Structure formats: C-alpha cells, structure tokens
Amino acid sequence: MKNTNISTSLSWLEVSRENILNNIRVIRKKIGSDVKIAAVVKANAYGHGYQEIAKILEDETIAFLAVHSLEEAFIINEGNFSPEILIVGYVPFEQLQEAVEAGFHLTVYNTETIEFLEKLKIFKKAKIHLKLETGTNRQGIDEKELPKFTELLKKTKNIELIGASTHFANIEDTTDHSYAQSQIDRYKLIISEIEDAGFEIPIKHTASSAASLLFSKTHYNMIRFGISLYGLWPSKETYLSYRLAGGENNLLTPALTWKTKVAQIKHVPKGSFIGYGCTYRTTADSKIAVLPLGYYDGYDRKLSNLGYVLIKGERAQVRGRVCMDNIMVDVTNIPDVKVEDEVVLLGRQNGDIITAEQMASWAQTINYEIVARINPLLPRKII
C-alpha cells in the first residue's frame, strides 16, 4: 500500500530519530568503542519500520543490520545502507545462492547447509556465523556435533568463517542469572574447541539487549542490540537487575508513537450496549468516540474493555470489543472531544503516556509483541 500523504492515514506511527540515537549512544558508552553493534531490525525493526530505522542509523557506526530472513535482508538492502546484513534466521537451500551472491552473512547451524553451500557455483565466498547451542535449544550446533562441522569446514572452498554466536534463554525473565552464566561457560568451551581445531573466529557475539545492559562479559567483540535500541526494556526483571547493580534511571527512551484520529462522536444513553457481542453496557449516559483502527492494524483484541488511549492528554478506556478496523472509547469525562481530534494509542500526549509495557500487561503479552505486531502497512514517519 502506498502512503504518500501521512496526514490522510487512518492511523500512523512517528519514530523519534533523537530517541533512537540516544539509545545507541547509551549502549555504545556501556560497551566501549572496541565492541561492534549489530542493530537488530527484524520484524520490521520491531514495528518501527525497516527503512526508517536503517535511515536513522545511517550516520552511526553500526557493523551489521540483523534480520531474520532473506526476504527481510532484501527489503533492507533496497535502501543501500552501509552496514553489512546478518541473517540470524534460517535460509532454505533454494535461497542460499541468492543470499551469498548478495553478500549477506548467514547464520549456520546444520551440516546440510554447509554441504549445500559447498556444491554451489558461486564467485563469492559464503560468509557464515556458526550458531552454537549453549542451552536455549532453539537454533544451534550441539557440542557433540562440533567435530563434524570443523572437519567439513576444513575441506570447504566456498565458505569463510566470520563469526560464532549464541543466544541466551533466560536472561530477561529472572534476576537470577546462573543459567545465563552456564551458557557463557558453555560458549567459551565450544569456542575454544573451534579455535583448537585451527579456526580463527573474527566476530564472537552472544549478547542481546539484556545481556548487553547487564553483563559486560557477554559483549565479546559484538552485541546484537534489539528491543533496547527502540528504547524498551527487555523485561521488568532486566530493569530491576540493572537498577540493583546501580544503573541510572531513564537510561532508554522509547521512540514510537502510534496515533489516530476520532472518526465519530456519539451520545449513548445509560444501559446501551457497545460493540460486537454486547460485552459492555453503559452505566450512565455516555459519550463514545469511534476510532478507525482495530486488530488488523495490530491493536490487540485482548485490549477489549481493558485498554486506554489518550485524547486531549486524558485517558479514555476501550469500551466493547476491539473490532477488525474500529474501536470505541469512552470520552464521557473529556470535554470538547471532536471528530478529527488526534488520539495517541501508544506513546505520550501532553502529560500522560501509554507505554508498550502497559499495553502488554493489558493484553497479557510482552512489549516486544505489542510493537512487532503493528501492521507493517501503516505509514511510519521519522520525526
């Protein structure tokens, strides 16, 4: 969908350049100048917009833009940005040739991929990062499979080993980081086995946002910085661990504001039902504002009768079920609300703020899902 005129959109997103740059500066200060940054821009840059975030980061020294898939890599690549692109997800065999020819770095964790790469007729070497299993049991090479990999890699002509990575299972959900420590120990062990087999590993990377913020020993020479690039904490536990370790308040600044406009105002008498399923009945004569967005746009249906939006800096609660393309909110106590008034669904308006964390708790999910699920078709604007 082409959206040239943002002011005519039913809902839209504003991305603060200053806040994204602030978050990058904050993390750079923490990790020091010898550690590279891979900015994680998968899932439409966590809902902030692939191109918008890549553009904001253009003048920063970012080593990689990390995406999940080849499709995402090509979307980012359209902008001709200078950082290299690292695909952290799976690339199927039939896409490998294209991925290598485009110069994207691949995350590899099975021997079949290495064997397939070796059979390709390519003029460029495939740049690979081995993903090591350290306890997450998602993608990753198990230690006992390692000799098979190193033997294979010794014989390959098409492959250049650039990095070795792992991903923590339990750094965000707890203030007890003993499991993460066991993963670091395992990573160190597997890394030394690869090096003992005669390989050099130019880039070692393990840290997502939580690890980057909490543990300098996870930084190695690159971090993969996702949620906190966008100004969001990976979890309450991460924030708590950070503060208990003496970290300052207001370190990160959220960068996303999601807005819409009032489409209709209606006066409904006491005892009226609102929306599908008649799940809400007014307890007094009420003034209801109809907003032209819904779960198709990424406004979670679990916010039905629970969420709030901001109008004139005041909170208006969602009444009735969130529909596919509409929601209704109660503006009975907010004076002078008119059609076309600006509404903030996520972010700040005057003195109040709706955070991704609040929305996540109303919708029984996490801030990651709230932002990542905002429909990519909605226009994003850098402010």
Ligand X SMILES: Cc1ncc(COP(=O)(O)O)c(C=O)c1O
- Give me the residues that bind ligand X (CB under 6 A), please: 40, 88, 167, 208-210, 224-227, 234
Is there a contact between 51 and 257 (Cβ–Cβ < 8 Å)? no
Q: Which is nearer to ligand X, 209 or 349 (CB)?
A: 209
Is there a contact between 194 and 201 (Cβ–Cβ < 8 Å)? yes
Is there a contact between 298 and 374 (Cβ–Cβ < 8 Å)? yes
- Positive or negative, the CA dihedral 213, 218, 224, 226 is negative
- Is 42 marked active-site? yes
CB of 272 to ligand X, least distance (A): 43
- Apex CA 358: angle with CA 353 and CA 361, to 5°? 170
Q: Which is nearer to ligand X, 167 or 373 (CB)?
A: 167
Q: How far is Cα 149 from Cα 113, in angstroms, rounded to an integer?
A: 11
Is there a contact between 150 and 194 (Cβ–Cβ < 8 Å)? yes
327-330 β-sheet, strand order = 264-268, 286-291, 327-330
One of 36, 42, 131, 204 is an active-site residue; which one?
42
CB of 68 to ligand X, least distance (A): 8
One of 119, 124, 276, 296 is an active-site residue; which one?
276
Q: Which is nearer to ligand X, 39 or 303 (CB)?
A: 39
CB of 142 to ligand X, least distance (A): 17
The encoded tokens of residue 288 equal 């209801």
The encoded tokens of residue 350 equal 């005057």
CB of 210 to ligand X, least distance (A): 6
- Is 295 marked active-site? no
Q: Which is nearer to ligand X, 140 or 320 (CB)?
A: 140
Q: Which three-class secondary structure string do you get for 317-371?
A: EECCCCCCCCEEEECCCCCCCCCCCEEEEEEEECCEEECHHHHHHHCCCCHHHHH
- Residue number of the CB atom closest to ligand X: 226
Q: Which is nearer to ligand X, 109 or 149 (CB)?
A: 109
CB of 376 to ligand X, least distance (A): 17
The residues that are catalytic are 42, 276
